[in-house]
Structure 1
Amino acid sequence: MLELTDVTRRFGANIAVDCVSLSIPEGQMVGIIGRSGAGKSTLLRMINRLTPTSSGEIRFEGKTVSGLGGADLRNWQRDCAMIFQQFNLVPRLDVLTNVLLGRLNHRSTILNILNIFTIEERASALAALERLGIAQTALQMAGTLSGGQQQRVAIARALMQSPSMVLADEPIASLDPLNAQIVMDALRDINEREGITVITNLHTLDTARAYCERVIGMAGGKVVFDDSPTELTTSAVRMIYGASGDGTEISESITSTSISADRPVVPVRPKSTGPLQPALSANTAVAGVALPA
């Protein structure tokens, strides 16, 4: 259980997040919606502790996350994986190495300095890439990939952290409709197959309805809606987004990522109760990519 109690973040005189209290059970797929500046990104960054709280408390499984420091804070940021709108990859490193960076907080400082990864770690990274349908890009420089491919690499890197929770900050905001659907399918697969809590900020109402079992609406730093997608009525949408300049209701079509019903989906493995990234042998090749030594 993730619990937020009266969480507030101030930037000078501006209150970005205003006294937010939430309880999110393990395994939920939660979408946070709202206008730009509503406080969505700040809220996720406070949960991950990239941004400190001004007041209030964040707890996870009985541990006070908002008070962590040092090694405990690094361990929390390992267990609470963050996926960003701008991917945050290292463009001049190959895709496989970018994914392996997700293991840094699981390893000794010496191994990280020497940039030494085990064959099991490399195998797990390739398995994560294969799961997301991009194993063939493993040896390409990350900067040569399309935006949709880079976001899938970022998701694979998050998987390598073996997280208890995944936070995705506008993961499809800069993607075309097809890649947006592929990325959201991948996040839903992680949530359903591993039972990992996924909390994602979204701009599009149709995406929130299609993928999330719970939708949280924010306006002016406050939570103004917290219910199932079926309760996103016209009045609820007006409460979250307001009305257009002439007072008419906002058209959901302007926020839509919908594409044709026969769109392809990201290839995924059958559901499994096994580990997050299945180990492969040293001689295994994944999707035609030879396992690096």
Structure 2
Amino acid sequence: MRLKLQDLTRQFGKKTAVDAVSVDIPSGQMVGVIGRSGAGKSTLLRMINRLADPTAGSIHFGDVEVSGLRGSALRHWRRDCAMIFQQFNLVPRLDVMTNVLLGRLDHRSTLSSLLNLFTREERLMAIAALERLGIEQTALQAAGTLSGGQQQRVAIARALMQRPKMLLADEPIASLDPLNAKIVMDSLRDINRNEGITVLTNLHTLDTARSYCERIIGMSQGRVVFDGTPDELTSDAIHSIYGVEHASQFDETMTSTAISTSGATEMSADPHPAGNLSLAPA
């Protein structure tokens, strides 16, 4: 199913954070949204997930008008449109397994959720999701004891438990070192390719967007100023997105997520990088 945004706008008082954005994203694409801080990237994703309501415009996913959903229909949309945050949003004192199982809450009755009555099938799903991300050995650890890279992978495993049709990732690697950033982005690309799930992710770094995304949307001052493939991200496009006169003025390496051979060993603080990313059937 296609995601279609039509003239999507969000205002905060007199400030327009997202300004008449119209994009059409086919099912199964991996799309990177880039731009300066304050360009409207996070607000755009929050509107798609309906954590923020549009001031104007519409959001459609297939035949469903997402921008008009209320009540249980809205809760079902948030289940189908899983979101991963920069700050992980885990419960630090709970163990990893329980944090992952929380992704099933919208599939369960209120009573069973309150009593923590997760089924054997759901627990097997959780273990399979952790194995997929290469962190099954952390299942019984408190989430707050994990490294940042491990916590982000727990958040991805929790999102997978929702069995989503779309995955939104809001700056998922902004607080991670290059090695863990690569592990997380590899995981998102694997989910996109092997599950056919549409992935829409906000990114600060051009090299990451070029390496992982088949389509790049550039935003500036709330508007879409570029929409194309990595090869089409020319000097003129960089100027329109970041406001620099020449590409040479914009040093991509300053915030690059690329890993040098010499640096990989030093940064390997996470002793359990993701391995085989194929998901065992639940």
Q: Into which bin does the TM-score normalised by the smaller protein fall?
A: over 0.9
Q: Select between 155-164 and 261-270 the one with higher mean Cα deviation.
A: 261-270
1:268 aligns to 2:269 (yes or no): no
**What does residue 250 of structure 1 align with?**
250
**What does residue 286 of structure 1 align with?**
none
* Contact 2:220/2:241, CA 8 A, preserved across alignment: yes
Compute the displacement of 1:256 (Å): 1.0
Mark the runs of 5 or more structure 1 residues left unpaired by the alignment. 271-275, 280-293
Compute the displacement of 1:113 (Å): 1.2
Mapped to 1, the partners of 2:94 and 2:190 lie a distance apart of 27
1:142 aligns to 2:150 (yes or no): no
Mapped to 2, the partners of 1:268 and 1:142 lie a distance apart of 22
Letter in 2 for 1:266: A
RMSD value over aligned CA atoms?
A: 1.7
1:186 aligns to 2:194 (yes or no): no
* Contact 1:160/1:277, CA 8 A, preserved across alignment: no
Q: TM-score, normalised by structure 1?
A: 0.90
Mapped to 1, the partners of 2:149 and 2:123 lie a distance apart of 22
Letter in 2 for 1:156: A
* Contact 1:91/1:141, CA 8 A, preserved across alignment: yes
Question: Sequence identity, in percent?
Answer: 69
SS at structure 2 position matched to 1:3: strand
* Contact 2:129/2:160, CA 8 A, preserved across alignment: yes
Q: TM-score, normalised by structure 2?
A: 0.94
* Contact 1:81/1:163, CA 8 A, preserved across alignment: yes
Mark the runs of 5 or more structure 2 residues left unpaired by the alignment. none
Mapped to 1, the partners of 2:98 and 2:52 lie a distance apart of 27
Letter in 2 for 1:38: A
Mapped to 1, the partners of 2:212 and 2:137 lie a distance apart of 27
**What does residue 259 of structure 1 align with?**
259
Distance 1:4 1:120, change over 3 A: same
1:278 aligns to 2:281 (yes or no): yes
Mapped to 2, the partners of 1:54 and 1:43 lie a distance apart of 12
Mapped to 2, the partners of 1:182 and 1:7 lie a distance apart of 33
Structure 1 stretches of 4+ moved >4 Å: 261-265
**What does residue 214 of structure 2 align with?**
213
**What does residue 287 of structure 1 align with?**
none
Distance 1:197 1:102, change over 3 A: same
**What does residue 158 of structure 2 align with?**
157
**What does residue 170 of structure 1 align with?**
171
Mapped to 1, the partners of 2:180 and 2:100 lie a distance apart of 19
Compute the displacement of 1:261 (Å): 5.7
Mapped to 1, the partners of 2:250 and 2:69 lie a distance apart of 41
CA deviation vs aligned residue, 1:99-119 (integer Å, no higher than 9, x gap):
000000001111011111011
Report how many aligned residue pairs link the two structures: 273
**What does residue 29 of structure 1 align with?**
30
Distance 1:150 1:71, change over 3 A: same
* Contact 1:238/1:249, CA 8 A, preserved across alignment: no
SS at structure 1 position matched to 2:249: coil
**What does residue 285 of structure 1 align with?**
none
